[in-house]
Amino acid sequence: MKCPFCGEPDSKVLDSRAIDNETAIRRRRECPRCGRRFTTYERLDELPLIVVKKDGRREAFDRNKVLHGLIRACEKRTVPMERLEALVDEVERDLYGRLDREVSSGEIGEMVMERLRDVDEVAYVRFASVYRQFKDINRFMQELQKLLNKQ
């Protein structure tokens, strides 16, 4: 595996472990040239999951888009990266477990928000405000009120 930092074509595997109910392998690697460490993931290449966007466009599911949205929502919060990756793993596992190979972006957003609410409420509201495109403060307050009522 090529080092993402210095480009060295070889790296040393320090640790390998099965993740996602043994459907993927996580490898910790170290570059012999620069000494930096990085993580790679090995997954089974499955039939693509197609996401149907609000405007009708279709594109392949990209777990990194979901993860980046979560990272932005959790900015300056104490949510560990491992927890966000686990949340995306859960969503991805549920999506690939379906018989239907197409899923709406709305369904994915709801699945993420459902799990994020239990992880960090502030991040949940941030994610919801972008995902649901709150147009005004009243819509924002409605979402906060729903969150308070569930407590």
pLDDT at 103 over 80: yes
Given this model, what pLDDT does residue 28 score? 96
Confidence of residue 25 (pLDDT cuts 50, 70, 90): very high
pLDDT at 138 over 90: no
Average the pLDDT over 8-16 and give the result.
95
Do residues 61 and 50 touch, judged by C-beta distance below 8 A? Answer: yes
Give the whole-number percent of the chain exceeding pLDDT 70.
97
Give the separation between CA 137 and CA 25, rounded to whole angstroms: 44
Average the pLDDT over 102-122 and give the result.
92
Given this model, what pLDDT does residue 48 score? 83
Give the whole-number percent of the chain exceeding pLDDT 90.
61
Given this model, what pLDDT does residue 97 score? 86
DSSP β-bridge partners for residue 102: 50
Give the separation between CA 108 and CA 87, rounded to whole angstroms: 12
pLDDT at 82 over 90: yes
Give the model confidence (pLDDT) of 41-79 as tens digits. 998 776 789 999 989 999 999 999 999 999 999 999 999
| Average pLDDT of the chain, as a whole number | 89
Confidence of residue 115 (pLDDT cuts 50, 70, 90): very high
Q: Rg of the Cα trace of the chain?
A: 18
Give the separation between CA 3 and CA 34, rounded to whole angstroms: 9
Given this model, what pLDDT does residue 119 score? 93
Delimit the domains of the chain by residue range.
1-44, 46-150
pTM of the predicted model as reported, rounded to 2 decimal places: 0.64
Q: How many CA atoms lie within 13 A of 56 on its CB side?
A: 0
